[in-house]
Amino acid sequence: MRLSCHYRKIVRCRLWLVPGLAILLLITLATGLSAQPPIAPEEVARAWLKLVDGGQSANSWEQTGSPFKARSSEQAWQTMLNYIRRSVGPVESRKIASVQFSNSLLGAPDGEYALVRFNSAFVHKSSTLETLSLGSENNHWVVIGYFIK
């Protein structure tokens, strides 16, 4: 039985189309999974500050990155945080001032970093600048530094 020329073209197209679509689907899935953007650094900073504001020093330390933990033990962080919060009091307001991205940070190896700054007001200190340094670890932003002035 002889197939018509038109039918043979359809069969060839379908034979090529199925593997082609399968490969395209695999490429799309693979790049889509690895290229999903992490949570924005300012969201991570706000969530971390919520722990700090709530007096959850152990949880806030646990959620920091390895550079933070290398510089400060959990006990030292709790002591320092209690001292800072006693002197400034509870937070009254906090507004994002800026977010800056960089591939380098003083004293750290090259990588992905973000500096998130907040204009904050506390009960005993009405005008402060809180700065959080964040680094990318395992494709997630983590706090690696906290400064208040």
Q: What is the pLDDT of residues 51-86, one digit of tens each?
A: 999 999 999 999 999 999 999 999 999 999 999 999
Q: What is the pLDDT of residue 25?
A: 36
Partners of residue 96 on adjacent β-strands: 118
DSSP run (H or E) holding 136: strand 128-137
Q: What is the pLDDT of residue 24?
A: 38
Q: What is the pLDDT of residue 121?
A: 96
Q: What is the pLDDT of residue 39?
A: 82
Q: What is the pLDDT of residue 107?
A: 79
What sign does the dihedral 80-59-86-50 (CA atoms) show?
positive
Q: What is the pLDDT of residue 7?
A: 59
Domain 41-148 has CATH 3.10.450.100: yes
Cα–chain center distance at 10: 49
Q: Which residues in the chain show pLDDT less than 50?
A: 17-18, 20-37
Q: What is the pLDDT of residue 9?
A: 60
Q: What is the pLDDT of residue 105?
A: 82
Q: With contact defined as beta carbons under 8 Å apart, do 130 and 148 qualify?
A: yes
Q: With contact defined as beta carbons under 8 Å apart, do 113 and 103 qualify?
A: yes
